[in-house]
Chains A and B, each alone.
Chain A
Amino acid sequence: MLQLSLLITRMQRINITTYAPLIALILLILFSSIVSEHFLMQRNITNVLRQVSYTGIIALGMTFVIIAGGIDLSVGSMVALVGVLTIMIINGVGDGWWAVAMAMSCAVVLGATFGAINGLIITRGKVASFIATLATMSIFRSMTLYISDAGEMVSDNQQFSEVGGGYFWGIPFPVWIFLLLAIVFHILLKHSAFGRHVCAVGSNSKVASYSAIKVRWVYFLTFLIAGVSVGIAAVLLASRLNSVSPGDAGLFYELDAIAAVVIGGTALSGGKGTIWGTVIGAIILGIINNMLNLTGVSPYLQGMVKGLVILIAVLVQFKGDR
């Protein structure tokens, strides 16, 4: 413990805000493994990671939106809408892997389209992203309910469920996709001109536009990316359950995704943030949920704990900024 605290003080000296999410994760894992003997069991860990990957993937896309200075509240409803449409497509096409591939690409395209709609309303219509996506959140959910007649949509395809339920090297597919996407997005954010422009726009959009950056285009693309990540998450979720329930699929995912981004150290005011922080943020949220279940804490209290964690994360960030 002494060595650990030494390590922590040394890290604090480096930069507490940068490493705060990582330190929190390590502490949380240590704490969890002491409190519950089930926590470190492979099946439990696999489960946590799988649960995390759906909102985690969305949070990855959300990271771009938030760094650029926006917010996307519609992602949860978008998950339901893309999910329902995907099941309709796969049932329309029929059986076989070909149908699965077709449905999966359609899901991504649909996500991109809905993201682009958000982006267009925000950049062309000049509506604040909070308001625009608040509106589309309601619109997407309502469309989902209407299309599905509020009934559960079940896939008839035999292979579809193998995508979300499958394993590779003992790790569930969605986790692989989450990590792969994290790497791709990390490179996009930190090592591409686009990522640099996203940070510039979020830091100071005036400076960005005076630096010949196409501010509106960059901002638009962040919503498109959020849409793509929703598309991917939606198809994985639909395939895992082999069905989509239009009323509660993706419910409150926007809050989990935003929470993961914020816990990961990305400033809600925009301009700075990291993908790996978001990954850690998502895992922290997942472990907390898991621990509350393992230790038998009332499910009614789980929201409170989540809320407290978000507050602490923001308070630590704020302190570090001063």
Chain B
Amino acid sequence: MNTPVMQVHSIVKEFSGVRVLHDITLDIFTGEVLGILGENGAGKSTLLKIISGIYTKTQGSIKIDGKEVDIQSTSDAKELGIAMIPQEFNLINSLNVYENIFLGNELKKTFLLNKSAMRARANELLKELETNLSPDALVENLSVAEKQMVEIAKALVNDSRILIMDEPTTVLTDYEVDVFFSLVAKLKERGVTIVFISHKLKEVKQLCDRLAILRDGHLVSVDDVTEINEEDMARKMVGRELNQIYPALTAPGNDTVLKVSNLTIKGVLHDINFELKKGEVLGFAGLIGAGRTETAEAVMGLRKKDSGEIAINGQHVEINSIADAVVWNLAYLSEDRQGKGLIMNFDIPKNITLISLAAYAKGLINGKKEEAAAREYVDRFDIKAASLHSHLANLSGGNQQKVYLSKWMDTQPNILILDEPTRGIDVNTKKEIYHFIRSLTEQGVSIIVISSELEEIMGVSNRVIVMRSGRIMGELTGEAINEQEIMFYAAGLKKMA
């Protein structure tokens, strides 16, 4: 642990003249797990993208094993034994596990692929990683956690010594995170160095040996994990005291604003029944694949229902498309912000008004009105962007999420469904979103929060519904909302009568 495998010296990165990384100097030691913490936009991803060859640095040098190296591309990084496991996996769905593991690195017998050798080696690797994943399974059919496993195996086949992971646990359920932890321990034993970005302080504390904290493109501190507690981490990230992250709950009203009865989609959802009160926050907990997103999409008219009724304010309504849902003042923020939520090459105003465009267009779009509205949201949500006309792709995840919220708020919803509203978002923005949820409930808006983070569900919900395999397993209120109860229902150990 005494020899640095990688020395990053005075790294500076500028994007079109704007400095996003200032003079970062950092040693990374062999076989350690180094956590990199920071708010969105602090420069974590930029730093790691430089190390892994996705971006090129503006100034500075990188040494590996004491020798200066020039990393210009991801293939340079690969040669040097550096592998990045991105948040969005680079796997080919139509190929199976071993084909993906050896992609670009195929074993050959003269001209032909040596499939049996690849399969055997893949099997060996997967065994070492203690998964029961078959080398012949089609990647398409794998869960997110399994796909991640394939990515890691792929990196190991390349003899990577430094694994860079960008928020590897945000896509995992709590159970899968445990599996991931033991995997990291195994990788460490093999002498692999892991650089790890996360927003989850508790997790970082458990997993890492050392922590580097970035703020506004500066390296604030590097500490041994034993010498820093979660409060200090948060303080260093934000640069100020972080008060209570979850605001106190407001009491919901008595009127039922949404009633879903007997909602069924064959093979996906089974007889879903629930009610939502005015001004209430209803949490939907469960493992990934429990049917929570599917329930939301069915309510929004994004999925065809086989049966089931929806009543809004006691009135039966037909919602067969998302346009119908918008008419009934329903709003839905998908968990897949980039894939289903926002148009990355549109600017902020165009994204915000995409659903509510009719309100800005009497024949032609009133560009001034559109911009004025966007500016209001930028102020209201404190959206940080170089300019109002920055493309969404250039905004950090937290700011993208705020634009996504603005987009739906512009439809003036009475019922708001938030699917993983804080996934991949820094602590500070999370807090802002929780406070925003509260201020909405005060205004009488009813909110459904779907989340795989138990702490979040417990922190924001008046009431919690737990789903498993397309069924509602239980409903918790008040004191009964605790981690253990939720997990019992989610894991199928307990079921409401």
Contact = CB atoms under 8 A, between A and B. Distances in A.
Contacts of B341: 207, 210
Contact of A210 (B322, B344, B346, B365): B322
A160 B323 CA distance: 47
Interface string A198-222: 0110011011111111100000000
B346 A199 contact: yes
Interface of B: 302, 321-323, 325-326, 332, 334, 339-346, 350, 354-355, 357-358, 361, 363-365, 367, 407
- The dominant DSSP class at the A interface is helix
A260 B209 CA distance: 58
A272 B350 CA distance: 13
- The dominant DSSP class at the B interface is mixed
B334 A192 contact: no
Contacts of A111: none
A212 B345 contact: no
Contact of A203 (B321, B334, B343, B365): B343
A211 B345 contact: no
A196 B354 contact: yes
A192 to B, nearest CB: 6
Nearest to B367: A191
B321 to A, nearest CB: 7
A193 interface: yes
Nearest to B361: A193
A207 B332 CA distance: 12
7 shortest A-B CB distances, which residue pairs? A212-B323, A191-B364, A193-B361, A210-B340, A211-B354, A212-B322, A203-B343
A271 interface: yes
14 contacts: A191-B367, A196-B354, A196-B357, A200-B343, A203-B343, A204-B344, A206-B339, A210-B322, A210-B332, A210-B340, A211-B322, A211-B355, A213-B354, A214-B323
B334 A210 contact: yes
Contact of A271 (B342, B345, B363, B365): B345
Nearest to B354: A211
A212 B326 contact: yes
Contacts of B325: 212
A208 B363 CA distance: 20
Given A196-B354, A200-B346, A271-B345, A206 B340 contact: yes
Given A187-B364, A191-B364, A204-B343, 11 more contacts: A196-B357, A197-B357, A200-B346, A203-B343, A210-B322, A210-B332, A211-B407, A212-B321, A214-B323, A271-B345, A272-B345
A197 B361 CA distance: 12
Contacts of A192: 361, 363-365
Given A196-B357, A211-B355, A191 B365 contact: yes
B342 A207 contact: yes
Nearest to A201: B343
Interface in A113-162: none
Given A200-B354, A212-B321, A212-B355, A193 B346 contact: no
Q: Which of A192, A214, A272 has the most CB of B within 10 A?
A: A192
Q: Which of B341, B343, B355, B407 has the most CB of A within 10 A?
A: B343
Contacts of B344: 203-204
B332 to A, nearest CB: 8
B364 A207 contact: no
A210 B343 CA distance: 11
B141 to A, nearest CB: 21
Given A210-B302, A212-B321, A193 B357 contact: yes
A280 to B, nearest CB: 21
Nearest to A188: B364
Contacts of A271: 343, 345
Q: Which of B322, B332, B346 has the most CB of A within 10 A?
A: B346
Contacts of B332: 210
A187 B365 CA distance: 10
A151 to B, nearest CB: 47
A191 B366 CA distance: 8
Nearest to B366: A191
Given A196-B354, A212-B355, A271-B345, A207 B361 contact: no
Contacts of A272: 345
Contacts of A204: 339, 343-344
B403 to A, nearest CB: 12
B366 to A, nearest CB: 9
Contacts of A213: 354
A15 to B, nearest CB: 11
A199 B339 CA distance: 16
Contacts of B357: 193, 196-197
Nearest to B16: A13
A186 B339 CA distance: 28
A137 B88 CA distance: 39
A196 B350 contact: yes
Interface in A266-287: 271-272
Q: Which of B326, B354, B361 has the most CB of A within 10 A?
A: B354
Nearest to B322: A212
Q: Which of A203, A211, A272 has the most CB of B within 10 A?
A: A211
A321 to B, nearest CB: 10
B387 to A, nearest CB: 13
A210 B361 CA distance: 20
A191 B364 CA distance: 5
Contacts of B407: 211
Interface in A179-194: 187, 191-193
A219 to B, nearest CB: 16
A196 B360 CA distance: 12
A203 B364 contact: no
Contacts of B326: 212
A200 B345 CA distance: 9
B74 to A, nearest CB: 14
A257 B361 CA distance: 31
Contacts of A211: 322, 354-355, 407
B410 to A, nearest CB: 11
A207 B343 contact: yes
A197 B357 CA distance: 10
Contacts of B323: 212, 214
B271 to A, nearest CB: 26
A178 B360 CA distance: 29
Contacts of B302: 210
Nearest to B323: A212
Contacts of A197: 357
A207 B340 contact: yes
A34 B323 CA distance: 58
A66 to B, nearest CB: 15
A207 B340 CA distance: 4
A82 B407 CA distance: 44
A18 to B, nearest CB: 13
A190 to B, nearest CB: 8
A207 B354 CA distance: 10
Nearest to B364: A191
A177 B302 CA distance: 43
A37 B367 CA distance: 45
A265 B370 CA distance: 26
Nearest to B408: A211
A203 B346 contact: yes
Contacts of A206: 339-340
